[in-house]
Structure 1
């Protein structure tokens, strides 16, 4: 172990969960490669599966801390205008389900640190919380949701092209929110947990 590591050991990652929806949502972005023909995950062989480059897709996610309710869009980039637009649509989506967001947690990406993003939050009186630099585990709810998204949607299904994959997102996300049991929610789905919490807190 190096001297710096001994003198300054990393702080333990603390797990937590908000008690009610709207206290906090987590935002993050995952970059996915595009493809124009089935890959080895579909054909079960790497022979003849070299895809021509089909660009990149940027999967923007928003996850409610208390309920794991999730909103996702596949967008063309991760620039400030695109990211701020996603934020506003996500907030409207959560609000339509009775969740008025009070805090947003993000990493330190340039779009999240932009003036445009900050202005949108300020005008809506929403507090912005940044994760510790180079410590993605502090935004663990978003990180774990992205791993589920990749495992069960992006890589877990036999998509013929990335366009077909993206078109299937709405179906998968609706199933995730309405029907997928979650161990942290006592085996309930996120939307069921939302409804239970709303009845309790209202």
Structure 2
């Protein structure tokens, strides 16, 4: 592509070459007409005569042969050390007795010069994906939070006071664990994320059994259907609830294809995992809650803010709801 200050664009080059080749203008006269040097005019005329109009575009300046380029066996060693040991250019250069600048050039050429380009757990290149329409795939998972005792948890009131609040709450409810110690329970947040739009649906339940997961699935599918979206697939991990016959039968009844992540590979379900982190920072632990009831009551408002008002980097800085079309009330 021509640079901003180029005297000749590909179209102007073609007109110049045609004046010389087709109409017989002298090279010097044509060069004067287009305000370029005569060698430049002659170069484009020769290219036009030999290869036609297609030759008017810029040619790559990349050399045909680079004798000093790093040998391929050395490149493989550099890539191996980067993937398997997560070493930087200086450390790799020290092991291979070569300049760090050369190692960095190889890493850049292989697109692994930044650790964010590879998976930190396995060293493999990150393969990102996104379905091209809403509800082509939903991601589902469960996030667990310890219930907040009456009066507030230890994160805000301190360990000693938090322990007293926990014991008094357990005394009021009569809940004990297997060792008869005070127990205030766990909040199981069942979350469902649309792969394309990142629109989220969540419910707080008291367990993560198959019956509860199936009930949440029905509610989520109906919630998305109210927004004009038909669910096609659903991706889950290999938890017992999602491996159950009840889950399989419910998906079959709803016309949904159930899919599972690879065992011990939570990155496959990374969109819902990242949402859990956002939910933890934005709702669960954002401020002081005097009770579990107060925290649970705040979830619907935060979900509305997340879906309708919070800018999302995956949707080019727009709220997730903007990727859904024909939502009732969207254009009011």
TM range (shorter): 0.7 to 0.9
CA distance in 1: counterparts of 2:251 and 2:146, whole angstroms: 30
Partner of 2:7: none
CA distance in 1: counterparts of 2:144 and 2:228, whole angstroms: 30
Partner of 1:77: 207
Residue 174 in 1 paired to residue 304 in 2? yes
Partner of 2:45: none
1:21-100, aligned counterparts within 5 Å?
21-36=134-149, 37-43=151-157, 45-50=158-163, 51-52=166-167, 53-100=183-230
Per-residue CA deviations over 1:64-93 (Å, capped at 9, x if unaligned) read 000000000000100010110000100000
Partner of 1:200: none
Any idea what SS the aligned residue of 1:158 has? coil
> What's the Cα RMSD here?
1.9
TM-score (norm 2): 0.54
- Contact 2:194-2:200 within 8 A present in 1 as well: yes
Any idea what SS the aligned residue of 1:169 has? helix
Q: 1:14 aligns with which of 118, 127, 144?
A: 127
Deviation at 1:193, TM superposition (A): 2.1
Partner of 1:106: 236
- Contact 1:42-1:160 within 8 A present in 2 as well: no
Per-residue CA deviations over 1:22-74 (Å, capped at 9, x if unaligned) read 2000000011111212124334x444222333111100000000000000000
TM-score (norm 1): 0.88
- What are structure 1's unaligned runs of at least 5 residues? 198-202
Runs ≥4 residues deviating over 6 A:
none
Per-residue CA deviations over 1:151-181 (Å, capped at 9, x if unaligned) read 1100112211122111110111011111000
- Contact 1:22-1:101 within 8 A present in 2 as well: yes
Any idea what SS the aligned residue of 1:86 has? helix
The structure with the largest helix share of the pair is 2
Aligned residue pairs total: 190
Partner of 1:185: 315
Residue 145 in 1 paired to residue 275 in 2? yes
CA distance in 1: counterparts of 2:135 and 2:199, whole angstroms: 11
The structure with the largest strand share of the pair is 1
Deviation at 1:16, TM superposition (A): 1.0
